[in-house]
Structure 1
Amino acid sequence: MVETFDVRSDDRRWVRKYPLLVKPSCDYPKYNVAKLLIDAAEAYPNREALDFLGRSCTYKQLLRQCRKMANALKSLPVSKGDRVAIMLPNCPQAVISYYGALMAGAVVVQADPSNTESELQRQLADSGATTLIALDERMPCITKAREHTALKHVVLTTLGDGLPFPYNLLYPRNRRREQPSFKVDYKGEKGLKRWSSFVGQAKASALCEEVDADEDLALLQYAGGETNESIGVMLTHANLLANTEQMNAWSYRLEAGKERFLAALPMFHAFGLNVLLHQAVSRAATLLLLPSFEPELALETIRRRKPTVFPGAPAMFIALLYHPQTQENEFASVRLCISGAAPLPLEVQERFERLTAGQMIESYGLTEASAVTHCNPIRGFRKNGTIGLPLPDTDARIVGEAGWEPLAPGEAGELAVRGPQVMKGYWNRPNETKEMLQNGWLRTGDIGTMDEDGYFTIIGRKRDIILTAGYRVYPREVEEVLFEHPAIKEAFVVSVPDAYRGEAIKALVVAKDGWQVSEMQLDRWCRERLAAYKAPSSYEFRDSLPLTQLGKVMPGN
């Protein structure tokens, strides 16, 4: 039986469901986020910090490289508060660039390596970034995007710079063979630096700028706003450290200096940055870096390094569960899976747990909250299908369309949250900040409910609600029913124009290998389990669904 705190409070009723060793409040540090790495290197200097496809380094070695990056940036010069953009996949250079920039006192701007020219240009111009660190293959895009921006310096690297010998030497040759037409023209480029000389020739002297943790920004993270336009989220050092402490308190059974995190989530997104980079470094864990999520590469890494923690998105778990190369007991080393970024189907959760020695828990958050606000208890009572309980020192309530007063348990409305991890505001967007953030409360844009015990359930995204024949339908509810069908591997529900209903429901589905199912069978399945107006009016069978690197289905597909 799990003991819980007996705290009687209607405001934080969820605290009564906390496991005994999860305290409802934490002490939060107030310093530069880079100190997480400095402390880990001092306490565990010889502990393996990174493994990148077979090449590893210790925390002592990683700290030295980060200090070299910090001094190299200072020499440009990068001053305190300057924005340094990082456009890299999961690789050692991404970690070194992140902590090096923070040590130099810069504000990190995380950019998706797959950004288009226009997306990159908007983010560089909006953030005012003066320095960009990226893969050299993106140089043609960078050249076009840097016009009308403040960008002065570009540091180029390749994945080969992080690979073990002899693959680092073979990488250029292999890339030319695979992409004969690939060529980067550096002529006429201003402020161009190569990683090997820029970092390699820099001093490794200790450097970590002092910051006002509550006020100084550590990160400008671009996320899609309510209009789908990329918007900069201002996260302070205190925001990021608070969320790190909250997640550490929640996953208290993880041991410092002993864990291995499978780093499949992209760290250039807020969820991956928190549950991978910050969580691993704060515990002096080993990060098993994957430059992109490919099931075969993930399986090879799991077999080779036996990760103990696997934060991921549902699409990643689905891909591994149904991969033909997946064997029994494949994931036996994994003690904890934290699922986020998209709703976790119950069938996926239960099947994955049967193949592991641990638990898979669903979490919830958003970039504006650094990025986690809710999580199901790891060792306490878990309510499947919910996003769990608010983290320590996090307030949450369900509110109506107008105002901020909480609705009664069971009533559906918009989820609002408040806590030390909530952003300072939107960059250069005072009106949007005022609309979404008031008195510390943040409107999430997600529709949900809270039950009598304080467990929250997300029904759907406010902007994704389908209005069909006057009824409101939440896609997640329909998707859960489709996932329950034994033949369905993936499902995604969208709205399509309908002359009679206004909007109709369409389901995009992917069948499991070796299974066949007809539209008529799916229609009967849904109508037996849903109200008639919630059942899809059409189905489209796909071989796969196009996903973002965070595991979400790409809109418009």
Structure 2
Amino acid sequence: MTSALQAAAAAEARQAGPYQWLNKYPKDVDWHQKFTPTPLYELLDAAAAKYPSRPCTNFLGKVLTYRDIARMTDRAAAGLQKLGVKKGTKVGLFMPNCPTFIIYYYGVLKAGGTVVNYNPLYTLEELTFQVKDSETEIMVTLDLKLLFDKVEGLMKAGTLKRSIVASFPGLLPGAKSVLFKLFKGKELAHPAKSPVAKDVIADADVLNNDGKYQKQAIDPLGDVAVLQYTGGTTGTPKGAMLTHANVMVNCLQGAAWATHLQPGQERVLAALPFFHVFAMTAVMNFALAQGAEIIIMPRFVLDDAMKLIDKSKPTVMPGVPTMYIAMLNHPKLKSFDLSSLKFCLSGGAPLPVEVKQKFEKLTGCKLVEGYGLSEAAPSVTCNPLEGPVKEGSIGQPLPGTIVSLRDLADPAKEVPQGEKGEICVKGPQVMKGYWKKPEETANQFVGEYLRTGDVGIMDTEGFIFIVDRIKDLIICSGYNVYPRRIEEAIYEHPAVEEVTVIGIKDQYRGEAPKAFIKLKGGMSASEDDIRKHLEVKLSKIEMPAEIEFRDALPKTMIGKLSKKELKAEEAQRQKAK
């Protein structure tokens, strides 16, 4: 068979699959490609071998090369093993974005341990639950009072056995380090003077070795690399067991999608928190797999981010919709050069179409929406970089990923094409299960498919459109009303910056939508204006029963608009009536 005939046969085979997305899959992406799972830390080792002298991290001006990070990671692994870390030991990471996070993340994995990610803003109560539930033995943190005081509290209570503390000023360039100690010294803790000092180990002592650690036999498909606690936005948080294969393959699936990036030449702005599953995979691990320079922000601060893009010229910036909205609404937007950006991935929440279009026009950058969840390490779908772009779509399944829409009443049944169903996912990135929760694990799966709790529709080309979360669905007079549809319609009003819609109790309809709106700075709109705007866009049953304007709307740590607090407020208001 000639090579031309072979190519034609291969193209035909691609089209002949049973899946709608193969009818219109991106030309340069092979959905059928196979990924070989290896221990996750091999991502870093491979990049360090290929790009040893290339900058790996740039933290507030201090640059470390891939060689530097790899050496420190090996030393962390050896030091952790001396402390007793072995196969399956749970080690917590409790800090904002910084090089220390990367060094210990990979150090723990090389030592054979399991990383447990912790939100730096968690209360002592939330931390206590997660430490106990995960069986975390050692916590790695920084000597900032904001962090160490909580770790000290866990240790005093006997909840946590030991901690490793790194110097925050030590992460800064020389002059900044001196200035921080001089002017912000009050923000620093003094672990050596702590009542639990005997069980606090300095990071410098852990790393004080030759880096020769005992290599562990890792089963990528079975061994858990990360315990990723789901946001806890409903009920008690659960630890998703993500294996080495889950996280590594998800990273490779993302790389297979972003075909226009040049390994060893990109710069990634890390504004999202590494402890969150989206940033862990799509920012930190993805950047390392690409041999990219990671420009690290401890947290997203709008002015700092704009200046950093203007000065450091990142080419890739994963984010959440609220980040892109904030950037577009910056009062001095025109004074910043954002043209270095060529690939921006939006996740975590629906991306309003208007925001995508404005951002792309402003920067010349591709801003594509993807979709995922903690239980899938997290990425499941993404929109093609080179079109077609379908308004409101979360895109098509990543290579090797199967999405099946299931009947809302009976998830064992697949719905006919074009009908609404629960999005269920099968693929190499899907978790092993929930830690110590076999019943919840069983409920989360239907056969081999992970149930997402999201309702969607798939078109004939495999593009998926989320209609809503099952739990956010509003039942009005027996009809299903989807908050996302109402939010999209409200976003089209020129004065609206952010909106969240929830269901509230209604004597006549049972439930009714209520919209909470934040207006753009310097703009105004009344309730009547919004209603007139919506009259031609929504049916009467979808029209918000109430509209409330607010100066700010509640958000999660990653910057995703949060309904939880608003629902709780409304529940309290109902009780008070």
TM-score by length of 2: 0.92
Deviation at 1:150, TM superposition (A): 6.2
Supply the distance in 1 between the matched residues of 2:233 and 2:119 (Cα, whole angstroms): 19
* Compared CA separation, residues 408 and 234, structure 1 to 2 (3 A): same
2:363 aligns to what SS in structure 1?
coil
Instruction: Report the structure, 1 or 2, having the larger helix content.
Output: 2
- Letter of the structure 1 residue corresponding to residue 484 of structure 2: R
Q: Who is 1:294 aligned against? A: 301
Equivalent residue runs for 1:48-447 within 5 Å: 48-136=55-143, 137=145, 138-146=147-155, 151-176=160-185, 186-199=194-207, 201-205=208-212, 208-224=215-231, 227-327=234-334, 330-401=337-408, 402-447=410-455
* Compared CA separation, residues 411 and 123, structure 1 to 2 (3 A): same
* Compared CA separation, residues 328 and 172, structure 1 to 2 (3 A): closer
Question: Contact 1:509–1:542 (CA<8 Å) still a contact in 2?
Answer: yes
2:390 aligns to what SS in structure 1?
coil
- Letter of the structure 2 residue corresponding to residue 336 of structure 1: F
Q: Who is 1:519 aligned against? A: 527
Deviations 1:472-494 (A, max 9, x none): 21111111011100111111112
Q: Who is 2:575 aligned against? A: none
Question: Contact 1:13–1:454 (CA<8 Å) still a contact in 2?
Answer: yes
* Compared CA separation, residues 540 and 135, structure 1 to 2 (3 A): farther
Q: Who is 2:472 aligned against? A: 464
- Letter of the structure 1 residue corresponding to residue 116 of structure 2: V
Deviations 1:458-513 (A, max 9, x none): 11111111122322211111110111001111111122233333222211111112
* Compared CA separation, residues 228 and 16, structure 1 to 2 (3 A): same
Deviation at 1:149, TM superposition (A): 6.5
Question: Contact 2:51–2:264 (CA<8 Å) still a contact in 1?
Answer: yes
Question: Contact 1:40–1:284 (CA<8 Å) still a contact in 2?
Answer: yes
- More displaced, 6-15 or 26-35? 6-15
Structure 1 gaps of 5+ residues are none
Structure 2 gaps of 5+ residues are 1-7, 567-577
Question: Contact 1:91–1:159 (CA<8 Å) still a contact in 2?
Answer: no
Deviations 1:203-240 (A, max 9, x none): 32366433001100101000046843210000101111
Identity over aligned pairs, percent: 37
Supply the distance in 2 between the matched residues of 1:158 and 1:468 (Cα, whole angstroms): 55
Question: Contact 2:156–2:196 (CA<8 Å) still a contact in 1?
Answer: no
Deviation at 1:275, TM superposition (A): 0.7
- Letter of the structure 2 residue corresponding to residue 236 of structure 1: T
Q: Who is 1:537 aligned against? A: 545
Deviations 1:141-165 (A, max 9, x none): 2233347766322012343231111
* Compared CA separation, residues 140 and 148, structure 1 to 2 (3 A): closer
Deviation at 1:404, TM superposition (A): 2.4
- Letter of the structure 2 residue corresponding to residue 170 of structure 1: L
Deviations 1:270-315 (A, max 9, x none): 1111111111101100111010010011011101110101100000
Deviation at 1:89, TM superposition (A): 1.0
Question: Contact 1:124–1:149 (CA<8 Å) still a contact in 2?
Answer: no
- Letter of the structure 2 residue corresponding to residue 395 of structure 1: I
* Compared CA separation, residues 211 and 344, structure 1 to 2 (3 A): same
Question: Contact 1:71–1:207 (CA<8 Å) still a contact in 2?
Answer: yes
Equivalent residue runs for 1:3-42 within 5 Å: 5-6=11-12, 7-9=14-16, 11-42=18-49
Supply the distance in 2 between the matched residues of 1:291 and 1:370 (Cα, whole angstroms): 22
- Letter of the structure 1 residue corresponding to residue 401 of structure 2: T
Question: Contact 1:50–1:92 (CA<8 Å) still a contact in 2?
Answer: yes
Deviations 1:383-407 (A, max 9, x none): 1210010011111111012132211
Supply the distance in 1 between the matched residues of 2:500 and 2:351 (Cα, whole angstroms): 13
Deviation at 1:174, TM superposition (A): 2.3
Supply the distance in 1 between the matched residues of 2:157 and 2:196 (Cα, whole angstroms): 17
